[in-house]
A and B are shown apart, each in its own frame.
Chain A
Amino acid sequence: SQTIHQWPATLVQPVGSPLSLECTVEGTSNPNLYWYRQAAGRGLQLLFYSVGIGQISSEVPQNLSASRPQDRQFILSSKKLLLSDSGFYLCAWSWTGITGELFFGEGSRLTVL
């Protein structure tokens, strides 16, 4: 069976510090991978998606970047955090194609002070 792991679960960082959130998927190969941000506990905003190693597409301009160094590893980064980067970050994966559902990790709560 497939599993998705996301860490750290919680993170408190000062403004201007770097960020690295990591996500790995087990039990499948060549998954589509996604980073979403959930602000104020409600709507989800797609930040990045990837259909393969080294292939990253950004949905919105922002202070964040993503990388996919391995097939089942997806990393969300920032060089200098802003207060507005606070939120709940969710990694997800899906099978290749467009009919499948997304499977989400447990999320990483980032607080920037």
Chain B
Amino acid sequence: AQSVAQPEDQVNVAEGNPLTVKCTYSVSGNPYLFWYVQYPNRGLQFLLKYITGDNLVKGSYGFEAEFNKSQTSFHLKKPSALVSDSALYFCAVRDTAGGTSYGKLTFGQGTILTVHP
């Protein structure tokens, strides 16, 4: 079974400082990993994904994430936070084992990011 954990319910950073939102995962095979952002009363927006290749993945709005297989982590980062980055962030994983042909994602519980002016 696949699972993902976001150990921090909330992350608070000052505008202009770097931010990190943590994510760890558990899969049987190789993971496909995703980050999404959700603003209040809106759907989820895709930020970035890791499928294979370079461990550092760059995505939308200046976000990036680093895949670390030994630590089974996929932390979301941004060098300089903006107030407008304040939102709910979800990490998601898909296990490549099992031979499924559809794209079921398992989501973490989400981390609320608050960027203070």
Contacts and interface: CB of A to CB of B under 8 A. Distances in A.
Interface of A: 6, 32, 34, 41-44, 46, 49, 51, 88, 90, 92, 94-107, 109
Given A43-B109, A43-B110, A99-B32, A32 B42 contact: no
B103 A97 contact: yes
Contacts of B107: 43-44
Contact of A98 (B44, B46, B100): B100
9 contacts: A32-B103, A43-B110, A46-B104, A90-B44, A97-B101, A99-B32, A99-B51, A101-B103, A104-B36
Interface stretch (B17-25, B69-77, B78-86, B88-96): B88-96
B92 to A, nearest CB: 8
B63 interface: no
B67 interface: no
Q: How large is the interface on B (under 10, 10 to 19, 20 to 34, 35 or more residues)?
A: 20 to 34
Contact of B102 (A44, A49, A101): A49
A44 B49 contact: no
Given A42-B110, A43-B108, A51-B101, A101 B45 contact: no
Given A43-B107, A43-B110, A98 B101 contact: yes
Contacts of B101: 51, 96-98
Given A43-B107, A98-B96, A103-B46, 16 more contacts: A34-B103, A42-B88, A43-B109, A46-B104, A51-B101, A51-B102, A96-B102, A97-B103, A98-B94, A98-B101, A98-B102, A101-B49, A101-B103, A102-B34, A102-B105, A105-B43
A31 B30 CA distance: 24
Shortest 4 CB-CB contacts between residues of A and residues of B: A104-B43, A94-B103, A44-B107, A104-B44
